[in-house]
């Protein structure tokens, strides 16, 4: 049985994780997400993507620990050893999460329930996160299993809450409710129960109505901030600024604003 479904409404696509086993992500979930995100990323008609959970009270609870245990036993039987000087190559899950970060379309997580471990790392890979009020938890509790957040959590969490807070949360394996997640900046907005998907669609439609080339360039630049030297980032910024300035759409919008003497907020 498929674990995800994809629906399109105009230029907004919604990925719903409809049938994860017991709310857990596993290899089958990742494979379906890989196929769906690759297809949407290649479709110029799609200008925004929303991701949500289809199980009541669950975005994705976390990655399947049964699957992780099986993998660990298989690797140990094969005598696999790890050398930090020889990094492990990217996996399917890394490709999926990386695609969400690099696609020029905004990706919005409509968090409707539990999002821990790999589920929270999926949310962290999105550009915006909308969370419903409720009795559920978000965070990275992997240390309690003797492992660590292995799909980007240790790298992305500090960018949201700072190094000190990220250390406190990951070293303790501390998860938080949606209200505290909002206070900490883990999610952008907190909405009443049952409203996350609606609000995510509103934001997706708002951004999808804006010039897609400008949206893509802005996302690329902001995502790269801090990951590249400042001079390199500034050089790319002024280059992409000129690229947009010379575009037909920008010229048309600027001309219309000037002709009508509009405020820039109404352009």
**Which of the residues 67, 69, 142, 198 is marked catalytic?**
142
Q: Are 166 and 158 in contact (CB under 8 A)?
A: yes
Which of 121, 137, 180, 232 is an active site residue?
121
Does the active-site annotation cover 142? yes
Q: How far apart are CA 168 and CA 255, in angstroms?
A: 51
132 carries an active-site annotation: no
Catalytic (active-site) positions: 121, 142
């Amino acid at each position: 049985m498929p674990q995800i479904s994809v629906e399109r409404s105009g230029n907004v696509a919604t990925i719903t994780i409809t049938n994860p086993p017991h709310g857990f992500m596993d290899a089958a979930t990742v494979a379906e997400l890989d196929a769906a995100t690759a297809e949407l990323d290649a479709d110029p008609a799609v200008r925004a993507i929303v991701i949500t959970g289809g199980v009541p009270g669950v975005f994705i609870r976390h990655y399947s620990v049964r699957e992780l245990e099986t993998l660990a036993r298989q690797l140990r039987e094969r005598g696999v050893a790890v050398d930090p000087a020889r990094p492990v190559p990217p996996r399917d899950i890394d490709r999926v999460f990386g695609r969400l970060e690099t696609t020029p379309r905004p990706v919005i997580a409509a968090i409707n329930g539990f999002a821990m471990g790999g589920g929270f790392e999926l949310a962290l890979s999105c550009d915006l996160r909308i969370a419903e009020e409720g009795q559920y938890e978000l965070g990275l509790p992997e240390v309690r299993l003797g492992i660590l957040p292995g799909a980007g959590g240790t790298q992305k969490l500090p960018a949201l809450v700072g190094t000190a807070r990220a250390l406190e949360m990951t070293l303790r394996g501390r998860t938080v409710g949606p209200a505290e997640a909002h206070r900490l900046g883990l999610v952008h907005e907190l909405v009443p129960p049952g409203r996350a998907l609606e609000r995510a669609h509103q934001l997706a439609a708002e951004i999808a109505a804006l010039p897609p080339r400008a949206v893509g360039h802005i996302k690329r630049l902001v995502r790269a901030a801090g990951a590249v030297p400042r001079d390199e980032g500034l050089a790319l910024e002024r280059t992409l600024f000129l690229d947009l300035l010379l575009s037909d759409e920008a010229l048309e919008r600027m001309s219309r604003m000037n002709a009508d003497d509009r405020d820039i907020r109404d352009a």
